[in-house]
Structure 1
């Protein structure tokens, strides 16, 4: 368990030793319970303990939501649950963006963004250097997670850059752990890319009309960041950095409809897509090679692998001669290894990683290819367009009856359809009753 805390410590102001945690946080039981629950995920002796402990977390969140005061420990607990979320099924059931928003608004309310002025937010509160430093780190974590989650969902972040963040970037505090410094720089670079290329105020979809020019400009920033910050970067940090690179290159994919269209020639677009291909391959390779660390990785690592695999699958769906080098046995083999990685992270049937691995398996088997350069049907989800395009395509694996229902959870509805059809066939099929299975499911 102590090893798990070494992964918590760089990003959040939580001590790495259990005795110190007990001393500091015993009075703040919800935070302590959150830490114990997340850490129990790696318990090999009794793997069911994690799911058992997880059942108590919603009550703790309810306590936070109904609390009259905002406390630092509340914000930390919410951020931890964003980093290492409890198991959930469809994406719509993931509360992480809500938790991140609540953490950020609570942090603003108690003045973490103005940590040098505590008495402005709490009457007659004296300035304490240690507490101020803890507040500063927590505020930086609020920004990092807000950016990660917004990128994952393909929506603009509600976070506003302030002097605290800029100061931490310009004049790094040597007390801030190296991993946190690297995560901050990577998140800020992703923030700039997202807002420039995917959140253009002149575009209804958000896509900038001069995306290719901006991609070339940001490549310079990526090259500088890769050489300057290598000393602060661990394995997970390298994956996050490659994810931001892939985030940039994803904007080179063309769209099926014209809004946000640029007039770039195919050769320039192919050059960018090939660089994206190499970034995606490197990202997945690092993840599968270091998969022994996976139980301690945050959701951002898994999401980075998902983005990389869906990007590779999209490139493989094209038979354009300019991209012929991409759909190769080595690419397919690495996608398969990435599928194994995602599937191994699933904790129960039909949780999110289980669903994603099923999606990858389906798309990997599709043989029909588009003779054009790869195009996306989704265009308003920023760099996540490529992932949501894959999700939309994968819905074709469900029956027309299920798709026509447009349920919030296609997987569960499909299971119900199969069960209903099986039940009716076994029990009632002798009389030819219930020939229209859709009516059975609707009334299920």
Structure 2
């Protein structure tokens, strides 16, 4: 020890020692950096005031890794080992590693930034695939095949909120994510998958009964046109939606409120008229017919259509305060919507036994050989001809101003029946000669024949041709039900679903009328003879 101390004192002679602030002093301080944070390694002053250093004694304790990283004094005890006060207070892992090297803050921050960027990229990729963040503090929604019911206003907030909600497990690829709700109506949310499924259901099963919308348009395009049109399509498709049978019930009240609030907004658009056409064709479920607003909505539909000039598509500017310049496609869309309005309004009048608010004007006139925006598809043109015939029968048979019931007299009704029977035969032959029409057109055609023959129930037994009229009604009811049964045994797709499951309210009303006709005949005296 003395020889070692002499060597150290000799190395610090006045001729070789450096004053504070010189390079040698700096070098000496750097050489002692491993000792300045350890107890017992400080220097001592000699009699001349010069600093002298004593060697580190064997077994002297070093600072722990955590304190060395922060350049702090440490009171760790190595043998026996006792954690230092700082690690104990901060609940850190106190240990001594002789090969430990401090990590610079800059490099550590750079590594953290790279990790954050990686997580952000993974988050954006997950969100682009239709996922949204979920947090334990949020009320978990009840999911059913992409349909979510919740009271939260939104699941997406600012970037800070998104970052705070994300839970990532390092290396495991596990995220706190769930399918994203893209459309919501009063707490009933739908994922993109559920929306696409419902729209496909509508195009495949319901659209053939009223083919006037464009299947090539996406659900987002229909929502941009008007939210009411989008949600009406969803509700119509939910009538037989096996993936979630409760969806129709959940959406009925919110859609009804959206409907009446939209109707109160004046002026309207022809997209709202389209929504009313669908809703009058497939009305919301109700317990009794007395609470069914379909006939009222039919009147609103026609008034809204004429209010925005759908019946005068070439003069739409006269019904608008802004400049309107329609191209050929837009003009055809309005003509088609106007034709469907009359078809739906006539179905409402025939099915409910009320006067129809139809208007078969020049816009809907048949112009053979013309090919332009006023030309309807073969399917809609045939449907329009059928409803024109039903309108003529209703007005002549059931609009007698001299009768308290509005029924035409027996003799007049018998004459009109013979006239319209011949006209119906010609209409039937003309429509059935077109081989490219769907079986649904024949369903509506035979329903029109039943509508014509139902007037026989108002005949008295003394009316001339009374028995012939009853037998004609019997044949009309059987002809209609045969088409119904043929449609029941056919299928729309490979799933074997019957088209009749998705029939319109009018067809169901005519089925009831046909069944009532058969029941009435079976219990009458005419078949007993």
- Structure-2-length-normalised TM-score: 0.56
Q: 1:299 to 1:172 in 2, by over 3 A?
A: farther
Instruction: Give 3-state SS (helix, strand or coil) of 2:303's partner.
Output: helix
Structure 1, gaps ≥5 residues long? 256-260, 326-444
Shift of 1:36: 1.1
Q: Choose the corresponding residue for 1:141, options 312, 337, 340.
A: 340
Instruction: Give 3-state SS (helix, strand or coil) of 1:55's partner.
Output: helix
Correspondence 1:202 to 2:402? yes
Relative to structure 2, which stretch is displaced further, 99-108 or 42-51? 42-51
Shift of 1:309: 0.8
Shift of 1:50: 2.1
Shift of 1:286: 2.3
Instruction: Give 3-state SS (helix, strand or coil) of 2:325's partner.
Output: coil
Relative to structure 2, which stretch is displaced further, 38-47 or 165-174? 165-174
Partners of 2:523 and 2:484 lie apart in 1 by 23
Contact 1:144 1:183 in 2 (8 A): yes
Within-5 A mapping of 1:254-293: 254=458, 264-265=463-464, 268-291=465-488, 292-293=498-499
Shift of 1:27: 4.8
Correspondence 1:159 to 2:341? no
**Who wins on radius of gyration, i.e. which is larger?**
2
Instruction: Give 3-state SS (helix, strand or coil) of 2:355's partner.
Output: coil
RMSD (Å), alpha carbons: 2.4
Partners of 2:281 and 2:367 lie apart in 1 by 21
Contact 1:70 1:106 in 2 (8 A): yes
Q: Choose the corresponding residue for 2:224, options 14, 26, 33.
A: 26
Greater relative contact order structure (CA < 8 Å, 6+ sep): 1
Within-5 A mapping of 1:335-374: none
Within-5 A mapping of 1:199-348: 199-209=399-409, 210-230=412-432, 231=434, 233-254=437-458, 264-265=463-464, 268-291=465-488, 292-320=498-526, 323-324=527-528
Q: 1:3 to 1:229 in 2, by over 3 A?
A: farther
**Cross-structure match for 2:156:** none
**Cross-structure match for 2:319:** 121
Correspondence 1:80 to 2:278? yes
**Cross-structure match for 2:379:** 179
Shift of 1:4: 2.4
Shift of 1:208: 1.4
Shift of 1:304: 1.4
Contact 1:12 1:141 in 2 (8 A): no
Pairs aligned (count):
315
Instruction: Give 3-state SS (helix, strand or coil) of 1:185's partner.
Output: helix
Contact 2:235 2:248 in 1 (8 A): yes
Shift of 1:25: 3.3
Contact 2:308 2:319 in 1 (8 A): yes
Partners of 2:401 and 2:215 lie apart in 1 by 44
Within-5 A mapping of 1:83-94: 83-94=281-292
Instruction: Give 3-state SS (helix, strand or coil) of 2:311's partner.
Output: helix
Structure 2, gaps ≥5 residues long? 1-198, 489-497
**Cross-structure match for 2:195:** none
Partners of 2:461 and 2:368 lie apart in 1 by 33
Q: 1:207 to 1:32 in 2, by over 3 A?
A: same
> CA offsets, 1:117-145, max 9 Å, x none?
12111143123221111111111111111
**Cross-structure match for 1:434:** none
Contact 1:117 1:127 in 2 (8 A): no
Higher helix share: 1
Contact 1:10 1:180 in 2 (8 A): no
Q: 1:93 to 1:171 in 2, by over 3 A?
A: farther
**Cross-structure match for 2:79:** none
Partners of 2:254 and 2:221 lie apart in 1 by 22
Q: 1:38 to 1:10 in 2, by over 3 A?
A: closer
Shift of 1:10: 7.1
Partners of 2:329 and 2:466 lie apart in 1 by 50
Partners of 2:511 and 2:212 lie apart in 1 by 27
Contact 2:349 2:355 in 1 (8 A): yes
Instruction: Give 3-state SS (helix, strand or coil) of 1:26's partner.
Output: helix
> CA offsets, 1:33-55, max 9 Å, x none?
11011112232222222222223
Contact 1:246 1:279 in 2 (8 A): yes
Shift of 1:253: 2.2
Partners of 2:439 and 2:480 lie apart in 1 by 10
> CA offsets, 1:4-23, max 9 Å, x none?
22542773542114x53423
Higher strand share: 2
Q: 1:169 to 1:186 in 2, by over 3 A?
A: farther
> CA offsets, 1:238-290, max 9 Å, x none?
222111111111112245xxxxx79623xx22122212212211222322342
Partners of 1:117 and 1:197 lie apart in 2 by 35
Contact 2:268 2:308 in 1 (8 A): yes
